[in-house]
Every structure is written in C-alpha cells, then in structure tokens.
Structure 1
Amino acid sequence: MTNQLIREALHPYREGLVIATKVGAVRGPHGSWEPAFTPADLERAVHDNLRHLGLEVLDVVNFRAMFSAEGLMEAPSRRRSPRSPSFSSAASSATSA
C-alpha cells in the first residue's frame, strides 16, 4: 500500500530521485509483521515493489531482519527441521566472527 501511495504522489519520478524499499517481512493475519526470508519470498517482494512503484529497477533494497532473543526469527510456516541449515545458525556464525 505504501508503495502505491508513493507512486501516486511522485510518479512520474524526477531525474535523480532515489527510492529505497525493504523486503524480508510480510503482514500477518492480524496486522503483525512476520519474517519472509526464503529466496521465493524475497524475489516476490522485489517484484511486488517494482510493480507497485512502476519501476524497472530498484535503487536501494533494504533487508528487514527480524530478531528475537534466540536469534534471527522465522515464520511458523517456514520453520525448518532441526537437521536443515537455518538462518539462525548462519546469523549466529556471521555475528560471532
């Protein structure tokens, strides 16, 4: 919705305008934010941003990482089995280096 408002207010975009977007979260059923970190989630979010903003290229895409006390969060429907590599262990390794 925000991207559509930006497009309505600013399109056609003036030369040199840089628009930053963010990916990595989606609205949950009750308006809360839920993590959306899978490659398919991220690709879908980028394409949604392009379409809603009326752009062919995004200048800046920020990744919205969502953390809890246990580390990087995953949406309940996206949790992996304990044997699968997870974002949490990857994030822990990256931050402890």
Structure 2
Amino acid sequence: MPPIRLLLHAPTAEALIRARRNAVNLLKARPDAEVLIIANAGAVAAALTTPDETDPMLRLCRNSLVAQRLDNTLALTEVDAAVVTLAELQAKGWAYIRA
C-alpha cells in the first residue's frame, strides 16, 4: 500500500487545534505518511500566536495574512492561496480532511 498523503484543512482556530492533533496521531500510527496542514481565515492568526511541533507541516494562506493585516513573525511557510494549494494537491492524489 502506498504511503498516506493527507491534507488537513484548518479554516478556524479550533480546526487548527484538531488538525495539529490529527497530524501527530496519524504520524504515530503511520510514520511514513506525508501530512500538510493548510491554514486560512481564522486559523492563520491562531497559528502565529500558538507555535507548535507541527509547524513544519503548516502552510499559511498569504491571502489570509494580507486580509487580516498579519505579519508572519514566525517565518512559517506560506502559500499564495489556500484554495489553490488544496485543489492542486488533491489533483495530485492527496487526500483531504477538513479538521
């Protein structure tokens, strides 16, 4: 069976908490999995105020950063638009879960 490639979509602060927990749990069960957490909307501000061990998996939506006038002070990885990233990676076979 091929390794799991999973997108966890977090559009709210609460969803970010769930996505981070889901990512950790998945990697415990399937260490060969690839996991990305795509944060947009309210999750972006939450990500910047609550650093976490899952931050290397996190991708912040630049559109959300700009719309909320937020600075990426933690230098987390950014993507131009969460919607584009989610669509492109799903087209490449990544599974999608909204956290």
Superposition TM-score, scaled by structure 2 size: 0.31
Question: Would you tell me which structure has more helix in proportion to its own residues?
Answer: 2
Higher RCO (Cα < 8 Å, 6 or more apart) = 2
Superposition TM-score, scaled by structure 1 size: 0.31
- Please say which structure displays the higher CA radius of gyration: 1
